[in-house]
Amino acid sequence: MSRFRLLVSPRPRARAHHSEDGQGLIELLLALTILAVGIAATVAAFASSILSLQHASKEGTAVTLADRQLESYRAMPFICVPRSGSIAQPAGCSVTPTYSAFPNPYSSPITVSGASAPDHRSYAVTTTVSASATEPVITVKVALTSAPSVVLSQETSSFSDAGTSPTTS
């Protein structure tokens, strides 16, 4: 026998030639796309929140201004509350009102801006009095001067000679 033996290997297996070249790049692109969608949604939520906060700020200031105007009427004697559809000071009122530029109970519309408005925007405060002589009903509407048709706040209060405000809305 010969010392050398012929080594015969079995038939070579068919190997699949699957290359993984470029798969990392595709995975990276997919991950970046998902990340971009998530960031865009977050930015949109922040933008929406900012707009909502700005609108809430305007409405909050408008409510404050309407309250201040109605409180000026609530603080005065009943004889001095305007009635009969006129915002002017009634003839029998001997009290000299003490007020700064705002609120002025005997002037309408009033433009409030600068330091008088909590957020330093410009607002139009319009006061109307119902035609009732016995129990005047005063309505205060507040709007931005840049958009006067959009009423941000409206408050109504009726006054009686008993010294109380029977209805407030």
Tens-digit pLDDT profile for residues 14-27: 555 666 777 888 89
Other CB atoms within a 10 A radius of the CB of residue 75 amount to 13
pLDDT for 95 equals: 67
Q: What is the pLDDT of residues 90-120, one digit of tens each?
A: 877 776 666 555 677 888 788 888 777 778 8
Residue type, 1: M
147-158, strands of its sheet edge to edge: 110-112, 123-129, 137-144, 147-158, 167-168
| Predicted structure pTM score | 0.68
pLDDT for 28 equals: 92
pLDDT for 48 equals: 93
Sites in the chain below the pLDDT cut of 50: 165-166, 168
pLDDT for 98 equals: 63
pLDDT for 34 equals: 96
